[in-house]
């Protein structure tokens, strides 16, 4: 219920590493509320909100939306949810994102998953996706990969040092990858 302390999982990995795909399986198996930061930002674009056009420009360039905007969207979804188990997908993308979340939400993640995928595989998957995302073109993908390497890997290293990181080899069949995800949630079976 709303009274219990949130149980937070961060899901990290480069563009096309399979975060969204594996999150769907985690939701089905372990009953988390899925919050994709990218989906929340795309929803702001679609509803033409105050920050919509800035978010669109940022996503087209593969850059990171200011932390305060993203954290506010995540916080609102957490407050609105009856669930207390959250799967936060594609966030935090930088140390600044991470520090901002910890300050504003006042909590750290219990678990951090990292989907480790070779760049050429990520490029192939994103170019094959065909769902009309404005950032699924080769120019933007190259920028997303650079930003990921420069800004997201420090976050991964931070949680590795804290002993919270579950690194998963993200190549192979979806179900095989999920078998590597399961041990992170040992004890979370519903």
Binding site for Mg ion (CB under 5 A): 19-20
Question: Do residues 155 and 92 make contact, with C-beta atoms less than 8 angstroms apart?
Answer: yes
Please say which residue, 2 or 179, places its beta carbon nearer to ligand UP5. 179
Please state the φ and ψ torsions of residue 186, each to the nearest 5 degrees: -55, 125
Which residue number places its CB atom closest to Mg ion? 20
Please say which residue, 35 or 85, places its beta carbon nearer to ligand UP5. 35
Under the binding rule (CB under 6 A), the answer on residue 62 touching ligand UP5 is: yes
**Residue of 8, 34, 35, 38 that binds ligand UP5 (CB under 6 A):** 38
Question: Which listed option, ligand UP5, Mg ion, none, makes contact with residue 21 (CB within 5 to 8 Å by class)?
Answer: ligand UP5
Which residues make Cβ contacts (< 8 Å) with residue 15, sequence separation at least 6? Answer: 122, 126, 135, 141, 144, 145, 148
CB of 181 to Mg ion, least distance (A): 15
H/E stretch holding 32 reads none
**Residue of 8, 9, 10, 16 that binds ligand UP5 (CB under 6 A):** 16
Which residues make Cβ contacts (< 8 Å) with residue 133, sequence separation at least 6? Answer: 42
Please state the φ and ψ torsions of residue 105, each to the nearest 5 degrees: -85, -25
Which residues make Cβ contacts (< 8 Å) with residue 6, sequence separation at least 6? Answer: 78, 84, 85, 86, 105, 107
x-or-dash string of contact with ligand UP5, 110-149, rule CB under 6 A: ---------------xx--x-----x--------x-----
Please say which residue, 19 or 85, places its beta carbon nearer to Mg ion. 19
How many whole angstroms separate alpha carbon 9 and alpha carbon 107?
Answer: 11
Which residues make Cβ contacts (< 8 Å) with residue 158, sequence separation at least 6? Answer: 95, 98
Q: Which residue do the tokens 């480790």 mark?
A: 116
Please say which residue, 15 or 109, places its beta carbon nearer to Mg ion. 15
Please say which residue, 134 or 162, places its beta carbon nearer to Mg ion. 134
CB of 175 to ligand UP5, least distance (A): 9
**Residue of 26, 56, 64, 165 that binds ligand UP5 (CB under 6 A):** 64
Under the binding rule (CB under 6 A), the answer on residue 13 touching ligand UP5 is: yes
């Amino acid at each position: 219920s709303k009274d219990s302390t949130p149980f937070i999982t961060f899901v990290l990995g480069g563009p096309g590493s399979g975060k969204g795909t594996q999150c769907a399986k985690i939701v089905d198996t372990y009953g988390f509320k899925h919050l994709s930061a990218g989906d929340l930002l795309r929803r702001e674009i679609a509803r033409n909100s105050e920050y919509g056009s800035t978010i669109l420009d940022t996503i087209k360039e593969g850059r990171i939306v200011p932390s305060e905007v993203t954290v506010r969207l995540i916080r609102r979804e957490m407050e609105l949810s009856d669930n207390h188990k959250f799967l936060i997908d594609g966030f935090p993308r930088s140390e600044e994102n991470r520090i901002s979340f910890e300050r504003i939400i006042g909590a750290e993640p219990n678990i951090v998953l990292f989907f480790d995928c070779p760049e050429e595989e990520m490029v192939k998957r994103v170019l094959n996706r065909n769902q009309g995302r404005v950032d699924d073109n080769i120019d933007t993908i190259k920028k997303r990969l650079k930003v990921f390497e420069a800004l997201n890997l420090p976050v991964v290293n931070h949680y590795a040092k804290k002993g919270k990181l579950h690194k998963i080899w993200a190549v192979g069949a979806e179900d095989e990858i999920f078998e590597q995800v399961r041990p992170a949630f040992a004890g979370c079976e519903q």
